[in-house]
């Protein structure tokens, strides 16, 4: 789910949704598009558009470890 303000501006790849399972059942309902222009919006079931992964997160350092 994406806030409308972020949806209207371009989001970076780091903020995207990724599916790592090739055989996953997937549907992007495009709810904001359905609300704004329901006559053109359609459900996206192509999981290939969402395959990928995020970069490894940076290690966490706690104050007592410094």
Task: Identify the residue with better confidence: 1 or 59.
Answer: 59
Tokens of 49: 């558009």
Is pLDDT at 64 greater than 80 in this prediction? yes
d(CA 1, CA 50): 15
**20-42 mean pLDDT:** 78
CA 53 to chain centre: 11
Q: Enter the pTM of the model.
A: 0.48
């Amino acid at each position: 789910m994406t806030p409308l303000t972020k949806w209207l501006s371009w989001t970076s790849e780091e903020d995207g949704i990724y599916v790592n399972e090739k055989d996953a059942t997937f549907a992007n309902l495009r709810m904001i598009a359905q609300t704004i222009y329901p006559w053109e919006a359609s459900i996206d079931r192509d999981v290939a558009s969402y395959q990928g992964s995020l970069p490894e997160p940076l290690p966490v350092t706690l104050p007592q470890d410094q």
